[in-house]
Chains A and B, each alone.
Chain A
Amino acid sequence: MDTVELARLQFALTAGAHFLFVALTLGLATLVAVIQTRATLGGSPVHQGMTRFWGQLYIINYAMGIVTGLVMEFQLGLSWSGLTEFAGNAFGSALALETMIAFFVEATFLGLWIFGWNKLNRWAHLALIWVVTLTAYASAFWIMISNGFLQNPVGYRLDGGVLHLADFGAMIANPAALVAFGHVLSGAMVAGGFFMAGVSAYHLSRRTAEQDFFRKSLRLGLGLATPALMVTATFGGLGFETMQVTKLAAWSGDLAEAQAAMVAQHGPGDWLPPVSWVQWGGNGMMALFALMLLVAAPSALLMLFRPAVRGLRVWHWLLVAMIPVPFVTTLAGWIFREMGRQPWAVYGLLTTSEAMSPVSAGQMRFSVIAFTSVFAVLIVINYWLLARAAKAGPGAVALGDRPIETPAPVLTF
């Protein structure tokens, strides 16, 4: 593999790993915020237990999202300095706004939410999780504005060989960004909903003593995932309206016309994305959507019948088996979107090989191997921990266990 391909592999693996965790973060944050609202308003111990249990899983998952995300942020300058030099004045603004308006607040308040448990006023504590959730959405919004700019650059001015931001309004009104934001956010709700439903189904299949706890959770998970699936599909359909001609051509297999048009515009060269990646990504995403709909729609009916929720084991196992499906679908969708943008880094303006930093093949090999092996180990450990905490159930949750910084009772003899 040459250096550009190594750099692409490195970014793809980091971004892919990041999004596995981000999708669940966005979905679970929403669910935890809703549950904590009910717990704060009603004061029921079941809802309080649910807040702690799902909150614990949310935090295990969140930590991995942060570390992959920060490596991704730095990779833009490390391996793609051609991109930052050429387009930084335009799409870099969205990245800066993401860190300043969204992520800084999200991380600060998440820390306060975790460590301030039982220490802060309960309404303040509730407000924190809502701010964390809304800033997570805002974070996704600004990232999709940056990504949308790369997919469909608008609102820029080309001057002195580099891009400048000419029309901020146009940049944030970019349909390629807004539609994708809706798609990504609702897709994350699907992932969070199926996760909650699947973990609850696991406990119900084991005849858990916490019937009320997991029945409520299962209904909440499916109650979010089912409508979110429809919203995701609607935004996905709209996405085809804003799609590059070359991506559409690669997906439909009707290539000649798009290639001819690109040659006329940009001169001789291969201007088409890798067809099999685009087709597998796009078709895989849609096939898995159909599978999820096939499971979610009847499940949304079944969950209304208490005996089924309590005892229909086949259904429980099906829901457990469905937990990974939204994540695979999400990755397929990203492969479709990002492979379909090739060979461009900024569509129509800067190619991926032009976007590359002048780093040596040896340096790139070192970082690919180092990041990939460290993240591979950490992902395995974190998924194991997530499964372990999910299986252990509400009895073993450390989050909000006792007032933080209050010593454990000392045994006296």
Chain B
Amino acid sequence: MEIFVLAFFALGYLVLAGADIGVGMLLPYLGRTPGERRETIAAIAPFFLGNEVWLVVTAGVLAGLFPALEAELLHENYPLVVVLLLAWVVRDMGLWLRGRVPGRVWQAAWDGAIVAGSWGLALCWGALLSVVALGIQGPLLVLPALALTALFGTHGLAFAALRLRGVLRERAALLSGGAGELRTFALTAATLATVGALTGVRLEPVAGTSGALLVPVSLVMIPLLVAAQAWVWWTFRHRVTGPSYL
């Protein structure tokens, strides 16, 4: 049972945050002017905070239910996890700070932080998933890592196509071809979830001894947490019609 709790939050993170990471990666492609960039950010603005907490809970579930695995996973990939965290911090700060001061230089700098941080996150996740799933180290790691980074980007485009309008929506639909926007998004989401699940299988996690407490709590909490997030999704279900707070 423990493994389903872990999988639920980890896969939830990959699918949900994967979309806003992908949009961040392709910010310069989607938004060519400052106005377009702000509108592109508005596509993910209401969601990114609620998306990244899935990873915070994943780490919490690891600490509580799989303490041995948490220790092994994190310290054995020390430099990779450190860079991943730095990318996460830089990207979040870019999102929060870009609108705080008017001025092109300020906004361009923090937009740069969003793009660099999103690429950093996607590359680190690509590398981390590859290390765990394929057990490879060294230069060869670059290939699966880049493939997964491209998957994050595609997933971001699919999400942006669902959220944006007009020319931005057309740019986002670059890779969808004739397929519908929702079907493209479902496909990229399912691919990311599959990669995550296959990686999880390779981990062979052994649960600790707190399951008797934490599993029932998780089963009660999960519907509530999903309902809270569903309220966010419902509130922002319409396409973006202009800039948001960020």
Contacts and interface: CB of A to CB of B under 8 A. Distances in A.
Interface residues of B, number: 67
B61 A100 contact: yes
A107 interface: yes
Contacts of A82: 71
A81 B240 contact: no
B245 A73 contact: no
Interface in B191-246: 208-210, 213-214, 217-218, 221, 224-225, 228-229, 231-232, 235-236, 238, 240-245
A77 B50 contact: no
B75 interface: yes
Interface-centre pick from B49, B61, B63, B88 (highest chain A CB count, 10 A): B63
B210 A111 contact: no
B79 A81 contact: no
Interface string A110-125: 1110111101100000
Contacts of A366: 79, 82
Contact of B60 (A73, A111, A112): A73
A206 B243 CA distance: 34
B182 interface: no
Contact of A111 (B49, B55, B62): B49
Interface-centre pick from A108, A164, A367, A389 (highest chain B CB count, 10 A): A108
Interface of A is mostly: helix
Contact of A108 (B53, B218, B242): B53
A112 B232 contact: yes
A399 interface: yes
A375 B59 CA distance: 21
A104 B74 contact: no
A407 B242 contact: yes
Given A73-B59, A104-B57, A93 B64 contact: yes
A101 B221 contact: yes
Given A67-B92, A112-B232, A76 B63 contact: yes
A378 interface: yes
A115 B214 contact: no
Interface-centre pick from A90, A99, A378 (highest chain B CB count, 10 A): A99
Interface string A346-386: 00000000000111000100110011001100100100010
B67 interface: yes
B75 A114 contact: no
A151 interface: no
Interface stretch (B96-104, B150-158, B166-174): B96-104
Interface in A83-104: 84-85, 87-90, 92-101, 103-104
A329 B92 CA distance: 29
Nearest to B70: A77
Contact of B101 (A71, A96, A374, A385): A385
Contact of A103 (B53, B79, B97, B99): B53
Contacts of A104: 53-54, 56-57, 225, 228
A370 B63 contact: no
A109 interface: yes
Interface in B71-113: 71-75, 78-79, 81-82, 85-86, 88-90, 92-93, 96-97, 99-101
B242 A111 contact: no
Contact of A67 (B60, B70, B79, B93): B93
A101 B228 CA distance: 12
A359 B53 CA distance: 27
Interface in A223-244: none
Contacts of B89: 67, 70-71, 374-375, 378
Given A103-B56, A108-B50, A88 B235 contact: no
Contacts of B231: 112
A77 B85 CA distance: 13
Contacts of A116: 46, 235
Contact of B92 (A66, A79, A357, A408): A66
Nearest to A385: B100
Given A77-B74, A119-B235, A405-B240, A88 B68 contact: yes
A130 B173 CA distance: 40
B45 interface: yes
B42 interface: yes
Given A74-B59, A79-B75, A107-B53, A96 B245 contact: no
B65 interface: yes
B62 to A, nearest CB: 7
Contact of A100 (B46, B71, B221, B244): B221
Contacts of B50: 107-108, 111-112
A370 B79 CA distance: 11
A108 B82 contact: no
Nearest to B84: A74
B68 A85 contact: yes
Interface string B28-66: 000000000000001001111110111111011111110
Interface of A: 59-60, 63, 66-67, 70-71, 73-74, 76-79, 81-82, 84-85, 87-90, 92-101, 103-105, 107-112, 114-117, 119-120, 164-165, 168, 357-359, 363, 366-367, 370-371, 374-375, 378, 381, 385, 388-389, 398-399, 404-408
29 contacts: A63-B92, A66-B49, A67-B88, A70-B55, A70-B88, A70-B89, A71-B89, A76-B70, A78-B82, A81-B75, A85-B68, A85-B71, A92-B65, A92-B70, A93-B64, A96-B65, A96-B214, A100-B57, A101-B221, A107-B53, A108-B228, A112-B50, A114-B245, A164-B210, A363-B79, A378-B93, A404-B244, A405-B243, A406-B242
Given A115-B235, A374-B86, A374-B90, 10 more contacts: A60-B96, A63-B96, A70-B56, A88-B64, A100-B61, A108-B232, A112-B235, A357-B71, A358-B75, A385-B101
